[in-house]
Amino acid sequence: MDDQHPKTWHHLAANEVVTQWESHAERGLADRLISERRQRYGRNILTPARGQGPLVRFLLQFHQPLVYILLVATIVTLALEEYIEAAVIFGVVLINAVVGFVQEGKALKAIEALGKTLVAEATVIRDGRKVRIDSTEIVPGDLVLLQSGDKVPADLRLLRTRDLQIAEAAFTGESVPVEKASATLPEAVPLADRTNMAYASTLVTFGQGSGVVVATGDHTEVGRISQLMASVEELQTPLTRRIAQFSKILVVIILALAAINFAFGLVRGQEPVYLFMASVALAVAAIPEGLPAAVTIILAIGVGRMAQRRAIIRKLPAVETLGSTTVICSDKTGTLTQNQMTVTSIVAASEHFPVMGVGYDPEGFIQAPVGEQAMLDPSEVVQLSVNDLHRRVTLLECLRAGALCNDSQLVQKEHGWDIQGDPTEGALLVVAAKAGLKPEVLHEENPRVDSIPFESDHQYMATLHDQGLDRPRVVYAKGSVEAILQRCDSAMDAVARPHPLIAEEIHTQVSELAARGLRVLAFARKELAAETSKIEHEDLRSGLTFLGLQAMIDPPRPEALEAIRMCQSAGVRVKMITGDHALTASAIAGQLGLEQGTSSSTASLDLPRAITGQELHQYSEEELIDVADETAVFARVAPEQKLRLVRALQASGHVVAMTGDGVNDAPALKQADIGVAMGKAGTDVARESSDMVLTDDNFASIEAAVEEGRGVFDNLTKFIVWTLPTNGGEGLVIMAAVLLSTKLPISPVQILWVNMTTAIMLGMMLAFEPKERGIMDRPPRDPQSSILNKNLLKRIAFVSLLLLIGAFGLFEWMIEFRGASLAEAQTVTASVFVIGELFYLFNCRSLTRSMFQIGVFSNKAAIGGAIGMLVLQVLFAHAPPMNQLFGTAPLSWGVWLLIVAFGVALYTIVEIEKYLVGYILQGDSFKPIPHHHETPGSDHGRSSSQD
C-alpha cells in the first residue's frame, strides 16, 4: 500500500482488506513488517499543530487600531516631555495586552487534546502471539482485539464480532451504542452507519471483536477532524469587529481635526509652536484613553456574572458575542437531551400506558391507559396505584421480562443514578423500578439458568429462569418486533390469558410509536419443562406468547424546552445538528418546540423537517446557504457537514453559536462565532475548541448567557455614549481656542487627568448596571450594524456641544470677568468636564429611560463612584501637590456651585432630549414608561424558571 487512506474500507470484504495490508486474520502482522510500517506511517499519534509562540501572541495583543491610537498618544506625550502622562497611557496599553494574553493562553490546545484521546493500551496479535502494547505503537495491518471497556486505538475494519457494541456518541452524535458486525456494506453507506468499522477514540461497551488496522494517527477519522480544526480560521467577534471599525473612524477624525486645526491657525498667522501644542492637545483630548481598559473590565465583570450562572468564559469577547447571537446550532445528544435512554410508553394487552419521569432516576410512575385517562379527566395525569398495577398482570409481566432478560445494572452514585452496561437495557430496569419491581429481588426470586446473548443475525436475546416449587421454567425474550412476533403463536390479554395473536394490530401500534421517534422493543415469554437447563435458538423458533412493547427515547431536558422558547421569543433561532437518525431528531425537535416545517415523513405529525447528511451532500455551497437558513433540524450529519452548515449560516450574515460535547463537534465549535462546550459530558477536544464551557451541561444556561451577553453589550454601549462627549467637548474647546486666538482652556496633562479618572471612577461603574427590563423581548442586534446608531451619535454631538458651551464659557468668564489666573481658569474648565460627566453618567444608566424609572439606587456602584470622583476633583483643585503636578489652583465655593449648577442643567436637558426622541420615534403610540423601581442587582427581564 502506498498510502493509508487510498479508499474507504467498509465496502471491501474482510479477507480482501487483510490481504491488502499483508496481514493475517488469525496470526496478525508479521514481526518483520512492524518496523517498516512504523517508519513509513509513523507513530499512532496526531501531529501537534504549529502554534504561535508566547512572544508573538503577546505582541499581537497590540495589533489593534485603538491600541495604535494610544501608542501614538504615548509618543506625543513623550515628545512634550510629559513623562508621567506617557507612562500612564502606555500602562493602560500594557495592562490590556497582559489581560488579553492571559485570557487567551489556553486557546489553540484542541489538537493536543485530540492527541490524548489516542493514548491508551491495546491488545494485538503479532506473529501469532497476543501482546499488550501502547496504542501509539500500533501500525496499519495490526490485528487488534477488542472487548468491553476498551477504547478503540485506531480505525479498524472488523473481521469478527460477538455481541460487539461500540458507543460512538462523541463521534457520530448517536445516543445508543452501535451494534457491530463484520458483513460487507455498500460503498455509499454514510460513516455513522458503517457497522463493520470501529473508529479511533470510540468506546467498546459490550461484547468482543477483532479487526485489522486500516488507519493510524493523522489518517484516522479523528485525525481528519484534527486537520479540519487546523484549517479553521479564528474569527473576529461582533464586538472586536465593531471596536476595530469604530477605532479606524476615530483615527481618521482625530488626524483630520488636528490637521484642520493646525492649517487654520497657520492661515490666521498664529505661531507654529502654539499651533503644534494646540494640535497635540487636541489629539490627546480626542483619544478615549479609558476605552480599552473599560472594554476589558466590563467584559471581565460579565465573565464573573456568567460564572455565577454556570458558564465559564475562556475568551473575554465571548460574553458580548452571545448577546449578538442570531442562531444557536445545538447538538442533540447530551445537550438538548439527557443522554439517558428512557421508556416513555408501554403497550400491553392493547392498552397504551404513558410513563412519567426521565433519565435513569427511578422516581416516576406509570399512568393509567390513555383511554381511561380521557374518561376520567383529560386534563389530569392519573397515576396507576399499586393495586392497579397488580391487577394488570400482562403489564407487570412485560416489565418483568425487560428486567430479567437483561445484563445491565442500575446503580446509585453520589451524583445520582447511573447504568453499568447498555443504556437500552438500563431504561428497562428503570421503568420496572417505577412499577415497584426491583431487579435484584426479581433475580433472587427467578434465578437465571441459561441465556442466549443478543446477536445481530437473530435480533433478539433470551434468558431462562427458575420459578421454583417444581413450576415450569420460563424463558423471557426481548428484541426487534419482527424477530419476536415471528416466534409468537399467541398474545396475553388484560387478565394474562392467551388469545390469538393479531400481528397487524401490533404493527400498527409499532408504526405509531416509531413515528414519534421512539425505539421499540418487543417482549415475549415461553414456559419449558422444569428440568430444562439449557436453551437453544431451536427452542424459541415458535410457541412464544407476546407480552407487549416498550418504547424509549433519549428524552429532551425539561429545562431545554423553556430555554428554547425564551431564545425564540428573543429572536434567536435554534437549530439541531446531530448525528442521530432523522426520525428521532425530528421527534425530539417537535417536543422541544423548534421551528415547524413539513416533510413527507413527518408532515402528518406537524414535526420539523429533518434534512440528512446525504441530502446536504447534494447541495452546492450557494444552495446550502438558503437550506441552512430555512431548516431547523439536520440529522446524520458528518463533522465536515457541521462545519459547512456553520459557514453557510455565517454567509447569511448570522452570528452563530455552536454547542456540542463530542470530538465530532470540535471543528464547528472553532468555526462558530462562539463555541459552547459541555463541561461534564464534553470531551477535552470540544472544551479546548470552545469559547465558553457550561459547567452543568444545561442548554438553559445558554439562554442565560444570551441574556447576560445582551446586558454586557448594553453596558459597553452606555460607556461609549458616556465617554465620547468628553473627548468631543475637549476637542471642541481646543479648536475654539485656536479659532478665537485665546490661551488653551485646558492643558494636555489636565486632559489626561479628566479622561483617566472619570473613566475609572465614573465610566467603569456602568459595568455594574443591572440588565434593563425587557432585554429578552427585543430582537438580536444586527451583526452588520455599528456600535452607535444615528440617534446616539446625535446625542454624543449634542452633549459635546453642551460641554463646549459650559467649559469654554466659564473659562472665558473666569478670565474676562473674574480676572482669574490661567491656572484657576483651566481648573474650572477641567472641573466642568468632570462634573458634567458625573451628572451625564446618570443619563447614561439607561439610553431610553430615566434613572427614576430604572431605580435610583439599583446601581450603588455608580453612586459610590460619583462620590469618589467629587473627592478626587476637590483634591485636584485644592491639594498643593496636585496644583504643582497638574498646574491647577483652588476655587471658591461660589464657583463650585456654578459648576454643579451646570451639571444639573446638563442632566435635565439630556433627559428632555431622551423623552423627545422617544416621542418622535414612536409618534402617537408613544407612552411614557411607568415609574418603576427595581432592586439593586436584580436580573431584569429574567423569567422565574431560571432561578
> Which sequence positions are flagged as catalytic?
331
Q: From the CB of residue 243, how many other CB atoms can be counted at a distance below 10 Å?
A: 23
**Measured distance CA(921)–CA(695) in Å, rounded:** 43
Going by C-alpha positions, the residue among 710, 734, 779, 785 that lies closest to residue 942 is 710
Which amino acid, one-letter code, is at 516? R
> Cell 414519534 identifies what position?
516
Going by C-alpha positions, the residue among 109, 107, 111, 106 that lies closest to residue 226 is 111
Going by C-alpha positions, the residue among 52, 53, 97 that lies closest to residue 71 is 97
- Where does residue 42 fall: left (phi above 0), alpha (psi -120 to 50 degrees), or beta otherwise? left
Going by C-alpha positions, the residue among 767, 654, 658 that lies closest to residue 720 is 767
Instruction: Give Cα 936 distance to the centre of its chain.
Output: 29
DSSP 333: I
DSSP β-ladder status, 544-553 and 488-492 = parallel
DSSP 286-303: HS-THHHHHHHHHHHHHH
DSSP 251-262: HHHHHHHHHHHH
> Cell 432630549 identifies what position?
913
Long-range contacts of 855-860 (CB under 8 A, 24+ apart): 855/932, 855/933, 855/934, 855/935, 855/936, 856/933, 857/936, 858/770, 858/933, 858/934, 858/935, 858/936, 858/937, 858/938, 859/765, 859/768, 859/769, 859/770, 859/936, 860/936
> Cell 437549530 identifies what position?
575
Going by C-alpha positions, the residue among 141, 119, 122, 140 that lies closest to residue 130 is 122
Show the DSSP H helices in 141-199 as ranges.
169-172
- Rounded (10°) angle between helices 748-761 and 272-286: 10
Alpha carbon distance, N-terminus to C-terminus of the chain: 60
Phi, psi for residue 36 in degrees, rounded to 5: -65, -40
Which amino acid, one-letter code, is at 879? A
| C-beta separation of 654 from 636 below 8 A | no
Query: What is the SS3 string spanning 651-684?
Result: HCCCCEEEEECCHHHHHHHHHCCEEEEECCCCCH
Show the DSSP H helices in 80-129 as ranges.
83-103, 110-116
Burial code of 585-617, b = ≥16 C-beta within 10 A, e = fewer? bbbbbbbbbbbebebeebeeeebbbbbbbbebe
- Kindly provide the residue ranges of all beta strands, DSSP E only, lying in 666-785, ordered along the sequence: 674-678, 692-694
**Measured distance CA(476)–CA(443) in Å, rounded:** 13
DSSP β-ladder status, 610-612 and 633-635 = parallel
Instruction: Give Cα 41 distance to the centre of its chain.
Output: 37
